[in-house]
Amino acid sequence: MTGAELPSGVVRNSLTGGGGVGGSVVQAGTINGGVHLVARPVLPTPRQLPPGPRKLIGRNADLAALDRSLGEDGGGADATVVVTGPAGVGKTALAARWLRGLAGRFPDGQLYADLRGYAPGGPADPAEALGAFLRAFGISPAPRSLEEGAALWRSVAAERRIAVLLDNASTAAQVRPLLPGSDGTVVVVTSRRRLTGLGIDGAVFRGLEPLAPEASTEILAERVGERRVADESDAAAEVVDACAGLPLAICLAAARIAARPAQSLAATAEKLGRGADRLAVLNVEGETVQELLDASYGVLEPESARLYGLLGLLPFAEFTLENAAVLADLDLTGADRLLDGLIDVHLLEERGPERFRFHDLVRLHARARGAADRASATTAATTTTTATATTGTAFDRLVDWYLASTTAAEAVVSPSHRTLARDYLTRPVHPAREFADTTRALEWLDEERDRLADLLRWSEELGRPAAAWQLADAMWPLFLRLRPARLWVEAHRIGLRGARAVGDRTGELRMLTSGGNGLRNAGDGEEAADWFAEALSLARDQPLVQANALYGLSQTHRMAGRLTEAADCLRRVVELREAQGQLRGSALARLAHGEVLLLADRAAEAVELLERAGRELSSIGDDYEVARARAFLGLAYGLLSAYDRAETCLASALTGFRAGLSVHWEARTLEFAGQVEERRGRPDAARSRFEQSRARYQDVGAAAEAARLADRLAAYGPATPVPEGHPDGPSV
């Protein structure tokens, strides 16, 4: 290139050969050869964040937590925040709203990439997102290798203050090349997975939970109208409940309602209340909760996917690691790995140590998947000669495991309760629970109470009638010690149907006598008497069963105030049991006879029977029944004005019941103590005992007993505080 002087003194440049000049202006003299002018437009600052709702409802705490992730001063250092949660919970909306609120801090742009972690075609290649980011700053084409592209991206970001939203990430490895790693940049990653691997890159994590009902209702009102929601508040609450706190589900339901202004909210609520149909109803113009859950399900490994379906078919919402291990036919470590796969994609919630549950809508999806797997397994079983691990076998394993574990608890808590036959259908791969002592066995029965109840009901649907009555039988310590009145009756109704369905006379008699006790304790003395009478009729050649039926009849007579008839039955029970060498059984009959004598105001006679019963029960180490004998003795001595003896016996009984976790009998002993304090002329102390008794009755759902105590307390009028250490203060 040469220059030439012009008359005006202006220098013109001369290009020779093939020259090229970039830019929009060229000032030159003589140009020989081709000149290529490349015009590069000035690019706008990238503002790529996706649009979101006009108002982000119910997420103030989450926004504040994201603010805190930047440090106290909001800092210049880079930050990576991972927002995780189930499909449809609003991760993208939250992240985009937060970054838009910080737009002034990122003058060089806000970038967005959908990494398609759960798309049908598979996750996006990070090189694709890198190319888009580089093009946003005028760099094209991007380097071919991922490593070179990532290095160039870090160089570009180092000169700028930018924010990046990486949406729908699948793995930490997919995200890592896209991290700028420079001061002044903030990256938000959203994912249904936990992406814990990003912790080594300094990421902080924010788990997003479903919305509270109040926030869900506010979203619904904003989209369909406050008046409409207010006019149909009950139906609106049903819609919100059916959407289970997922913003996407609420918005889909709202869109459906808004599109049908003449249709009531109640109509939508009804459709949403139809179980599995709920996922189909939550569908507007192709966007569905079903598709989101399908996408999460699609990334599961086959073993986790199968377990997901099995867990979805369980009759209880919350399950344990042991439940999963039995269903999957794995040890605890193997089952924990599969559950971790479900938790990783937010299809499962961890509720406590080794306890899990599905989000309501996820449970519907899991149930549908499980039903489909079960149908295909059944079809396969009918077309092949090879036995396969079908869902039926998995559920049989679970029923058998619970039956064996509950029987093991029964053996520890009630060793004298004769264990009847147990019909197991599966091989004992998973050993039953073992219990070190009565306390641990009762704690397990209490912890598993709801699952046992659901499994008992479910056994009929599974075609396991024998397991139904045997499980009800094994739950005897739960009924006897913890006294869940309604469950006691329901379990034995189911068990009685099961025993009769398989023609098991022994099981039928056990259900009639044990169930009769449940009916009596639930306050239904007449039906209880019918059950005992039927058992007595069926047990003509079985003295011990006759004795059990007569014992039950004695209790119904006692409840009805027929004390003479009750005493006659109990004397006959003692004779039958002693003839069969049943020391414990005869002692319990004497104990019951002593209670009848107390009700008949014959305390002195009662003491003799109760003392003997207590000695016999103590000789065989039955601490629970010894405590019952002491409770009745405490009342008897109180009625005889032997107050020191009464107090000693009642205190001993309370200690025994509290150690044995028998809340019902703790309540009854406190009631006895109140009666003794009344007789002693100490009304404030009596009131204190009765109040404690009522509270404990309420704890076990004994409504009739609690009401009786409430009536008794009402007669006392306003309470007078009793100073600590006062003679009228609590002593037991």
Q: Where do the domains of the chain lie, and which CATH numbers do they carry?
A: 1-40 (no CATH), 60-207 (3.40.50.300), 213-285 (no CATH), 303-389 (1.10.10.10)
How many Cβ atoms sit within 10 Å of the Cβ of residue 308?
Answer: 26
Residue of 395, 231, 365 whose CA lies nearest to 300: 365
Question: Cα separations (Å) of 425 from 50, 449, 505?
Answer: 56, 23, 21
pLDDT at 628: 95
Residues in the chain: 732
pLDDT at 69: 86
350, β-bridge pairs:
356
Positive or negative: CA dihedral 333, 339, 345, 349: negative
Residue of 635, 566, 643, 578 whose CA lies nearest to 606: 635
* Long-range contacts formed by 351-357: CB under 8 A, 24+ apart: 351/318, 354/320, 354/321, 354/322, 355/318, 355/319, 355/320, 355/321, 356/318, 356/319, 356/320, 356/321, 356/324, 357/317, 357/318, 357/319
Residue with tokens 């209702």: 217
Task: Show the CA angle centred on residue 62, arms to residues 212 and 366, nearest 5°.
Answer: 55
pLDDT at 389: 45
How many Cβ atoms sit within 10 Å of the Cβ of residue 1?
Answer: 12
Read off the pLDDT of residues 169-198 as tens digits, 9 standing for 90 and up: 999 999 999 999 888 899 999 998 889 999
Question: Cα separations (Å) of 585 from 477, 529, 622?
Answer: 16, 20, 12
pTM: predicted TM-score of the whole model, two decimal places: 0.68
What tokens does 221 get?
Answer: 């009102």
d(CA 476, CA 478) in angstroms, rounded, equals 5
Question: Cα separations (Å) of 362 from 251, 319, 713?
Answer: 17, 15, 48
Count of helix runs (H) and strand runs (E) in the chain = 33, 14
pLDDT at 47: 92
What tokens does 307 get?
Answer: 């377990």
pLDDT at 77: 58
Give pLDDT < 70 ranges for the chain. Answer: 1-41, 72-77, 274-277, 284-287, 377-392, 428-429, 718-732
Residues 6+ apart with CB under 8 A from 694: 667, 706, 709, 710, 713
Cis ω for the linkage preceding 727 (within 30 of 0):
no
d(CA 663, CA 363) in angstroms, rounded, equals 35
Element (DSSP H or E) covering residue 637:
helix 623-639
Residue of 314, 344, 412, 403 whose CA lies nearest to 84: 344
How many Cβ atoms sit within 10 Å of the Cβ of residue 685?
Answer: 23
Per-residue burial over 198-207, b if 16 or more Cβ lie within 10 Å, else e, is: beeeebebbe
Whether the Cβ atoms of residue 520 and residue 549 lie closer than 8 Å to each other: no
Per-residue burial over 33-61, b if 16 or more Cβ lie within 10 Å, else e, is: eeeeeeeeeeeeebebbeeeeeebbbbee
Strand ranges in 428-567 using DSSP code E only, listed in sequence order: none
Residue of 171, 181, 186 whose CA lies nearest to 150: 181
pLDDT at 289: 80
Question: Cα separations (Å) of 470 from 205, 420, 462, 535?
Answer: 48, 8, 15, 17
d(CA 694, CA 322) in angstroms, rounded, equals 37
pLDDT at 144: 82
Residue of 290, 366, 377, 272 whose CA lies nearest to 324: 366
What tokens does 158 get?
Answer: 């180092």
d(CA 409, CA 421) in angstroms, rounded, equals 16
Read off the pLDDT of residues 684-726 as tens digits, 9 standing for 90 and up: 999 999 999 999 999 888 888 899 999 999 888 765 555 555 4
By CB neighbour count within 10 A (0-12 exposed, 13-18 middle, 19+ buried), where does 602 fall? middle
Identify the three-state secondary structure at position 219: helix
Crossing angle of helices 60-68 and 91-101, rounded to 10°: 60
